[in-house]
Amino acid sequence: ASGAAAENGVLYSSGRFIENARKADTVVFDKTGTITKGCPEVTEILTLGGMDEKTLLRIAASAEAMSDHPVAKAVVARAKDTFVDFVPDAAADFEAVAGKGIKCSVNGKALICGSRRFLKENGIDAQALPDGTGTEICTACDGALVGLIRVADVIKPEAREVVEKLKASGRQVWLVTGDNEQTARDIAAQAGIENVKANVLPTEKADMIARLKAEGRTICMVGDGVNDTPALAGADCSVAMGSGSDIAIESAGILLPSGDLKKLPEVFDISERTMRVVNQNLRWAFVYNALSIPIAAAGVLHPSICATSMSLSSIGVLFNSLKLRNGRKERRLWKKKR
Protein backbone atom coordinates (compact mmCIF):
# COMPACT_ATOMS: atom_id res chain seq x y z
CA ALA A 1 0.00 0.00 0.00
CA SER A 2 2.84 2.38 0.83
CA GLY A 3 4.48 1.64 -2.51
CA ALA A 4 1.27 2.19 -4.47
CA ALA A 5 0.62 5.42 -2.56
CA ALA A 6 4.15 6.71 -3.21
CA GLU A 7 3.75 6.04 -6.94
CA ASN A 8 0.58 8.09 -6.82
CA GLY A 9 2.16 11.03 -4.96
CA VAL A 10 0.93 10.23 -1.46
CA LEU A 11 3.36 9.55 1.40
CA TYR A 12 2.26 7.89 4.65
CA SER A 13 4.60 8.22 7.63
CA SER A 14 3.38 4.95 9.14
CA GLY A 15 0.85 2.16 8.69
CA ARG A 16 -1.26 3.69 11.46
CA PHE A 17 -2.30 6.51 9.14
CA ILE A 18 -3.12 4.11 6.30
CA GLU A 19 -5.50 2.42 8.73
CA ASN A 20 -6.98 5.62 10.19
CA ALA A 21 -7.64 7.50 6.94
CA ARG A 22 -10.58 5.32 5.89
CA LYS A 23 -12.29 5.96 9.23
CA ALA A 24 -12.37 9.74 8.73
CA ASP A 25 -15.93 10.97 8.31
CA THR A 26 -15.07 14.69 8.54
CA VAL A 27 -12.45 16.59 6.54
CA VAL A 28 -11.35 20.00 7.85
CA PHE A 29 -9.50 22.29 5.43
CA ASP A 30 -7.30 25.27 6.14
CA LYS A 31 -7.69 28.01 3.53
CA THR A 32 -4.41 29.66 2.53
CA GLY A 33 -2.15 27.30 0.60
CA THR A 34 -4.61 24.43 0.93
CA ILE A 35 -7.93 25.35 -0.68
CA THR A 36 -6.31 28.40 -2.28
CA LYS A 37 -3.05 28.63 -4.22
CA GLY A 38 -1.27 30.37 -1.37
CA CYS A 39 -0.01 33.15 -3.65
CA PRO A 40 -2.18 36.11 -2.62
CA GLU A 41 -1.99 39.53 -4.25
CA VAL A 42 -2.80 43.03 -3.01
CA THR A 43 -6.21 43.99 -4.36
CA GLU A 44 -7.01 47.20 -2.45
CA ILE A 45 -5.23 49.92 -0.49
CA LEU A 46 -7.39 52.23 1.62
CA THR A 47 -5.87 55.16 3.53
CA LEU A 48 -7.09 57.24 6.48
CA GLY A 49 -5.91 60.26 8.40
CA GLY A 50 -4.27 62.01 5.47
CA MET A 51 -1.75 59.26 4.70
CA ASP A 52 -1.23 58.56 0.98
CA GLU A 53 -1.24 55.06 -0.53
CA LYS A 54 2.49 54.90 -1.30
CA THR A 55 3.48 55.86 2.22
CA LEU A 56 1.09 53.29 3.69
CA LEU A 57 2.40 50.63 1.34
CA ARG A 58 6.03 51.42 2.16
CA ILE A 59 5.67 51.31 5.94
CA ALA A 60 3.47 48.20 5.83
CA ALA A 61 5.90 46.43 3.49
CA SER A 62 8.83 47.37 5.70
CA ALA A 63 7.06 45.81 8.67
CA GLU A 64 5.82 42.73 6.80
CA ALA A 65 9.26 42.08 5.28
CA MET A 66 10.23 40.44 8.57
CA SER A 67 7.45 37.86 8.24
CA ASP A 68 7.36 34.73 6.04
CA HIS A 69 3.55 34.55 5.90
CA PRO A 70 2.11 34.42 2.33
CA VAL A 71 0.05 37.55 3.00
CA ALA A 72 3.16 39.44 4.13
CA LYS A 73 5.00 38.33 1.01
CA ALA A 74 2.16 39.70 -1.13
CA VAL A 75 2.51 43.16 0.45
CA VAL A 76 6.28 43.15 -0.08
CA ALA A 77 5.81 42.02 -3.70
CA ARG A 78 3.39 44.92 -4.32
CA ALA A 79 5.93 47.35 -2.86
CA LYS A 80 8.63 46.00 -5.18
CA ASP A 81 6.32 46.52 -8.15
CA THR A 82 5.49 50.06 -7.03
CA PHE A 83 8.93 51.33 -6.01
CA VAL A 84 12.05 50.96 -8.13
CA ASP A 85 14.73 48.96 -6.29
CA PHE A 86 12.57 48.78 -3.16
CA VAL A 87 14.54 48.14 0.03
CA PRO A 88 12.50 47.76 3.26
CA ASP A 89 13.23 50.26 6.00
CA ALA A 90 14.82 48.66 9.05
CA ALA A 91 12.29 47.32 11.53
CA ALA A 92 13.07 47.12 15.25
CA ASP A 93 11.33 45.33 18.14
CA PHE A 94 9.61 42.98 15.71
CA GLU A 95 6.95 40.72 17.21
CA ALA A 96 4.75 38.31 15.27
CA VAL A 97 1.58 37.04 16.96
CA ALA A 98 0.41 33.84 15.29
CA GLY A 99 -2.94 34.18 13.57
CA LYS A 100 -3.28 37.88 14.46
CA GLY A 101 -0.57 40.13 13.01
CA ILE A 102 2.72 41.86 13.78
CA LYS A 103 4.08 44.74 15.83
CA CYS A 104 7.33 46.60 15.26
CA SER A 105 8.98 50.01 15.00
CA VAL A 106 9.95 51.52 11.61
CA ASN A 107 11.81 54.83 11.45
CA GLY A 108 10.85 55.51 15.04
CA LYS A 109 7.13 54.95 14.41
CA ALA A 110 5.27 52.21 16.25
CA LEU A 111 3.41 50.05 13.73
CA ILE A 112 0.72 47.44 14.21
CA CYS A 113 -0.39 45.42 11.18
CA GLY A 114 -2.99 42.69 11.37
CA SER A 115 -6.64 41.84 11.79
CA ARG A 116 -9.29 44.12 13.24
CA ARG A 117 -9.36 41.86 16.26
CA PHE A 118 -5.62 42.30 16.75
CA LEU A 119 -5.84 46.08 16.56
CA LYS A 120 -8.75 46.09 19.00
CA GLU A 121 -6.66 44.10 21.47
CA ASN A 122 -4.10 46.89 21.21
CA GLY A 123 -6.64 49.62 21.89
CA ILE A 124 -7.33 50.66 18.29
CA ASP A 125 -10.85 50.57 16.85
CA ALA A 126 -10.83 49.42 13.21
CA GLN A 127 -14.54 48.64 12.89
CA ALA A 128 -15.12 51.78 10.77
CA LEU A 129 -13.17 50.24 7.88
CA PRO A 130 -15.39 48.96 5.04
CA ASP A 131 -15.90 45.23 4.60
CA GLY A 132 -14.69 43.44 1.51
CA THR A 133 -13.36 40.21 0.08
CA GLY A 134 -9.85 39.18 1.02
CA THR A 135 -7.49 39.07 3.96
CA GLU A 136 -7.29 42.41 5.77
CA ILE A 137 -4.09 44.02 6.99
CA CYS A 138 -5.31 46.88 9.14
CA THR A 139 -2.45 49.27 9.86
CA ALA A 140 -1.96 51.60 12.79
CA CYS A 141 0.89 54.07 13.22
CA ASP A 142 1.71 55.51 16.63
CA GLY A 143 -1.66 54.38 17.97
CA ALA A 144 -3.76 55.85 15.13
CA LEU A 145 -5.51 53.88 12.38
CA VAL A 146 -3.95 54.93 9.06
CA GLY A 147 -5.34 52.45 6.55
CA LEU A 148 -6.11 49.02 5.27
CA ILE A 149 -4.41 46.78 2.73
CA ARG A 150 -6.60 43.98 1.42
CA VAL A 151 -5.02 40.85 -0.01
CA ALA A 152 -6.90 38.15 -1.90
CA ASP A 153 -5.96 34.59 -2.74
CA VAL A 154 -7.21 32.54 -5.68
CA ILE A 155 -8.91 29.19 -5.13
CA LYS A 156 -7.18 26.13 -6.57
CA PRO A 157 -8.95 24.98 -9.76
CA GLU A 158 -9.28 21.42 -8.47
CA ALA A 159 -10.70 22.40 -5.07
CA ARG A 160 -14.39 22.20 -5.95
CA GLU A 161 -14.04 18.82 -7.67
CA VAL A 162 -12.21 17.40 -4.66
CA VAL A 163 -14.82 18.73 -2.22
CA GLU A 164 -17.61 17.21 -4.31
CA LYS A 165 -15.87 13.82 -4.26
CA LEU A 166 -15.44 13.98 -0.50
CA LYS A 167 -19.09 14.87 0.04
CA ALA A 168 -20.16 12.13 -2.39
CA SER A 169 -18.25 9.63 -0.24
CA GLY A 170 -20.39 10.66 2.73
CA ARG A 171 -17.81 12.86 4.46
CA GLN A 172 -18.61 16.21 6.03
CA VAL A 173 -16.35 19.05 4.86
CA TRP A 174 -15.32 22.14 6.85
CA LEU A 175 -13.30 25.26 6.06
CA VAL A 176 -11.48 26.75 9.06
CA THR A 177 -9.44 29.93 8.70
CA GLY A 178 -8.15 32.93 10.56
CA ASP A 179 -9.49 35.24 7.85
CA ASN A 180 -12.60 37.37 8.29
CA GLU A 181 -16.09 35.96 7.85
CA GLN A 182 -16.73 37.52 4.42
CA THR A 183 -13.52 36.19 2.89
CA ALA A 184 -14.05 32.74 4.37
CA ARG A 185 -17.64 32.58 3.07
CA ASP A 186 -16.62 33.68 -0.42
CA ILE A 187 -13.86 31.06 -0.71
CA ALA A 188 -16.10 28.37 0.79
CA ALA A 189 -18.86 29.16 -1.71
CA GLN A 190 -16.43 28.82 -4.60
CA ALA A 191 -15.24 25.46 -3.26
CA GLY A 192 -18.74 24.19 -2.47
CA ILE A 193 -18.21 24.03 1.30
CA GLU A 194 -21.19 24.80 3.53
CA ASN A 195 -19.54 24.50 6.96
CA VAL A 196 -17.31 27.50 7.68
CA LYS A 197 -15.49 28.74 10.76
CA ALA A 198 -13.69 32.10 10.39
CA ASN A 199 -11.64 34.43 12.60
CA VAL A 200 -10.01 31.54 14.46
CA LEU A 201 -6.58 31.51 16.08
CA PRO A 202 -4.22 28.51 15.74
CA THR A 203 -5.19 27.21 19.18
CA GLU A 204 -8.87 27.68 18.33
CA LYS A 205 -8.42 25.46 15.27
CA ALA A 206 -7.19 22.72 17.58
CA ASP A 207 -10.11 23.38 19.94
CA MET A 208 -12.53 22.98 17.07
CA ILE A 209 -10.94 19.65 16.10
CA ALA A 210 -11.38 18.55 19.72
CA ARG A 211 -15.05 19.60 19.72
CA LEU A 212 -15.77 17.68 16.52
CA LYS A 213 -14.04 14.61 17.98
CA ALA A 214 -16.12 14.97 21.14
CA GLU A 215 -19.21 14.70 18.91
CA GLY A 216 -18.01 11.25 17.89
CA ARG A 217 -16.49 12.26 14.56
CA THR A 218 -13.22 10.98 13.14
CA ILE A 219 -11.29 13.97 11.80
CA CYS A 220 -8.88 14.42 8.92
CA MET A 221 -7.20 17.83 9.02
CA VAL A 222 -5.65 19.24 5.82
CA GLY A 223 -3.27 22.19 6.16
CA ASP A 224 0.12 23.58 5.26
CA GLY A 225 1.19 26.36 7.62
CA VAL A 226 2.69 26.87 11.04
CA ASN A 227 -0.74 28.06 12.23
CA ASP A 228 -2.23 24.66 11.33
CA THR A 229 0.25 22.65 13.41
CA PRO A 230 -1.87 22.31 16.60
CA ALA A 231 -4.89 21.17 14.56
CA LEU A 232 -2.81 18.75 12.48
CA ALA A 233 -1.39 17.21 15.62
CA GLY A 234 -4.82 16.89 17.23
CA ALA A 235 -6.65 15.24 14.32
CA ASP A 236 -7.13 11.48 13.96
CA CYS A 237 -5.27 11.66 10.66
CA SER A 238 -3.70 14.73 9.11
CA VAL A 239 -2.54 15.70 5.63
CA ALA A 240 0.10 18.32 4.87
CA MET A 241 0.87 19.94 1.53
CA GLY A 242 4.41 19.56 0.22
CA SER A 243 4.69 23.31 -0.31
CA GLY A 244 3.90 23.97 3.36
CA SER A 245 6.09 24.70 6.36
CA ASP A 246 8.49 22.09 7.73
CA ILE A 247 6.75 21.99 11.10
CA ALA A 248 3.35 21.32 9.46
CA ILE A 249 4.85 18.49 7.41
CA GLU A 250 6.45 17.06 10.56
CA SER A 251 3.15 17.22 12.46
CA ALA A 252 1.11 15.51 9.74
CA GLY A 253 1.02 11.77 9.21
CA ILE A 254 0.34 12.02 5.48
CA LEU A 255 2.08 14.22 2.92
CA LEU A 256 1.07 15.32 -0.58
CA PRO A 257 4.50 16.35 -1.95
CA SER A 258 3.08 18.02 -5.06
CA GLY A 259 0.49 20.01 -3.10
CA ASP A 260 -2.13 18.77 -5.59
CA LEU A 261 -5.52 18.48 -3.88
CA LYS A 262 -6.62 15.92 -6.48
CA LYS A 263 -4.48 13.42 -4.59
CA LEU A 264 -6.55 13.81 -1.41
CA PRO A 265 -9.41 11.40 -2.34
CA GLU A 266 -6.73 8.82 -3.13
CA VAL A 267 -5.59 9.03 0.51
CA PHE A 268 -8.93 7.57 1.62
CA ASP A 269 -9.23 5.21 -1.36
CA ILE A 270 -5.83 3.59 -0.70
CA SER A 271 -6.69 3.24 2.98
CA GLU A 272 -10.02 1.60 2.18
CA ARG A 273 -8.53 -0.86 -0.31
CA THR A 274 -5.63 -1.69 2.01
CA MET A 275 -7.83 -2.56 4.96
CA ARG A 276 -10.10 -4.60 2.70
CA VAL A 277 -7.11 -6.70 1.64
CA VAL A 278 -5.94 -6.99 5.27
CA ASN A 279 -9.36 -8.33 6.28
CA GLN A 280 -9.35 -10.78 3.34
CA ASN A 281 -5.95 -12.06 4.42
CA LEU A 282 -7.04 -12.44 8.04
CA ARG A 283 -10.19 -14.36 7.06
CA TRP A 284 -8.21 -16.62 4.74
CA ALA A 285 -5.60 -17.30 7.44
CA PHE A 286 -8.28 -18.05 10.03
CA VAL A 287 -10.22 -20.46 7.79
CA TYR A 288 -7.07 -22.16 6.51
CA ASN A 289 -5.64 -22.74 9.99
CA ALA A 290 -9.00 -23.78 11.45
CA LEU A 291 -9.22 -26.54 8.84
CA SER A 292 -5.58 -27.48 8.42
CA ILE A 293 -4.32 -27.66 12.01
CA PRO A 294 -6.75 -30.44 13.08
CA ILE A 295 -5.93 -32.41 9.93
CA ALA A 296 -2.21 -32.03 10.53
CA ALA A 297 -2.58 -32.93 14.21
CA ALA A 298 -4.50 -36.09 13.29
CA GLY A 299 -1.54 -37.29 11.24
CA VAL A 300 -3.60 -37.65 8.07
CA LEU A 301 -1.02 -35.77 6.00
CA HIS A 302 2.71 -36.17 5.85
CA PRO A 303 4.59 -33.33 7.63
CA SER A 304 6.30 -32.30 4.40
CA ILE A 305 2.92 -31.78 2.76
CA CYS A 306 1.78 -29.70 5.73
CA ALA A 307 4.93 -27.56 5.55
CA THR A 308 4.47 -27.04 1.82
CA SER A 309 0.83 -26.12 2.31
CA MET A 310 1.77 -23.57 4.95
CA SER A 311 4.23 -21.94 2.56
CA LEU A 312 1.63 -21.89 -0.19
CA SER A 313 -0.79 -20.20 2.21
CA SER A 314 1.74 -17.44 2.91
CA ILE A 315 2.41 -17.02 -0.80
CA GLY A 316 -1.34 -16.73 -1.39
CA VAL A 317 -1.56 -13.92 1.17
CA LEU A 318 1.38 -12.18 -0.51
CA PHE A 319 -0.17 -12.33 -3.98
CA ASN A 320 -3.50 -11.13 -2.63
CA SER A 321 -1.68 -8.12 -1.10
CA LEU A 322 0.03 -7.39 -4.41
CA LYS A 323 -3.39 -6.52 -5.81
CA LEU A 324 -2.85 -3.11 -4.26
CA ARG A 325 0.02 -2.42 -6.68
CA ASN A 326 -1.52 -4.20 -9.66
CA GLY A 327 -4.76 -2.31 -9.16
CA ARG A 328 -2.84 0.95 -9.44
CA LYS A 329 -1.30 -0.18 -12.74
CA GLU A 330 -4.72 -1.13 -14.10
CA ARG A 331 -6.11 2.32 -13.29
CA ARG A 332 -3.19 4.00 -15.07
CA LEU A 333 -3.83 1.93 -18.20
CA TRP A 334 -7.53 2.75 -18.03
CA LYS A 335 -6.77 6.48 -17.81
CA LYS A 336 -4.46 6.26 -20.82
CA LYS A 337 -7.18 4.54 -22.88
CA ARG A 338 -9.63 7.30 -22.00
Catalytic residues: 30
DSSP notation for 36-74: B-S--EEEEEEE-TT--HHHHHHHHHHHHTT---HHHHH
Strand pairing report for 195-197 and 172-176:
parallel
What's the CA gap between 273 and 26, in Å, rounded? Answer: 19
- Compute the chain's Rg from CA coordinates: 26
Q: Helix count (H) and strand count (E) of the chain?
A: 13, 13
- CA nearest 79: which of 24, 37, 41, 131? 41
Report whether 163 contacts 193 (CB < 8 A).
Answer: yes
What's the CA gap between 224 and 2, in Å, rounded? Answer: 22
What's the CA gap between 320 and 44, in Å, rounded? Answer: 58
Residues 6+ apart with CB under 8 A from 164: 192
CB atoms within 10 A of CB 71: 24
What's the CA gap between 320 and 191, in Å, rounded? Answer: 38
Residues linked to residue 44 through DSSP beta bridges, in sequence order = 150
Kindly report the length of the chain. 338
